[in-house]
Chain A
Amino acid sequence: QVQLVESGGGVVQPGRSLRLSCAASGFTFSSFGMNWVRQAPGKGLEWVAVIWYDGSKKYYADSVKGRFTISRDNSKNTLYLQMNSLRAEDTAVYYCARDVPDYWGQGTLVTVSS
């Protein structure tokens, strides 16, 4: 069955960097686009970024453009989100999600605080 497992979350100071990973299994990872979606505590869902199945196209929400970078390693079935210049408002649970999205991981919590 499809499994998406995020890792790399934690507490980080404002202005610092963090890299999230999402390990995929149960499907042909290299055939699907992948997304990152986040949810701040008590708030709604916010789409963050998408990457095409082959990495050829990447799109970002305005709120993260220029600070976050989505990437993937199809040989390792892994999706990444490099987050730089983190701000307090980036505090959220970060989900990786396949394609539409149709399958979601359980999320990893990122807390930006001094």
Chain B
Amino acid sequence: SYELTQPPSVSVSPGQTARISCSGDALAKKYAYWYQQKSGQAPVLVIYEDNKRPSGIPERLSGSSSGTMATLTISGAQVEDEADYYCYSTDSSDDPLWVFGGGTKLTVL
């Protein structure tokens, strides 16, 4: 099996920078994707292919990847950014699996 590892929680004050990491062996070869999920809602794609932002996603959300780690950065976090964030990727096997990280609860207070 394949796993992506995220910290369970990150906490920042409004206006600070939040960084959420995601580690996995295949991230050196495969793209990372990031999803934001607010309570009771479906997930929303916020970063694709490591560092691209879909239309409508604020510029303060950005992504990067280096080696086996991907990072979601929220610069100048706002109260409305408080949510669960999940990374997502695939392994590099011939019988591929797609996996989500365990999720990170971002608290902005």
Residues of A within 8 A of B (CB): 35, 37, 44-47, 50, 59, 61-62, 95, 100-102, 104-107
Contacts and interface: CB of A to CB of B under 8 A. Distances in A.
A59 B95 contact: yes
B99 A105 contact: no
Contacts of B98: 35, 47, 50, 59
Kindly list the 8 A-B residue pairs having the minimum CB-CB distance in the complex, ordered from nearest. A44-B103, A45-B100, A104-B42, A47-B98, A102-B45, A44-B102, A45-B86, A106-B42
Nearest to B42: A104
Interface in B1-55: 1, 33, 35, 37, 42-45, 48, 54
Contacts of A46: 100
Interface of B: 1, 33, 35, 37, 42-45, 48, 54, 84, 86, 88, 95-103
Contacts, number: 44
A46 B100 CA distance: 6
A105 B35 CA distance: 14
Contacts of B44: 104
A95 B33 CA distance: 17
B1 A104 contact: no
Nearest to A47: B98
A95 B43 CA distance: 10
Contact of B97 (A35, A61, A95, A100): A61
Contact of A102 (B1, B48, B102): B48
B45 A107 contact: no
Given A62-B1, A95-B42, A107-B42, A100 B48 contact: yes
Given A45-B37, A95-B43, A104-B44, 11 more contacts: A37-B100, A44-B86, A45-B35, A45-B100, A45-B103, A46-B100, A59-B96, A95-B42, A100-B45, A104-B42, A107-B42
Contacts of B103: 44-45
Nearest to B33: A100
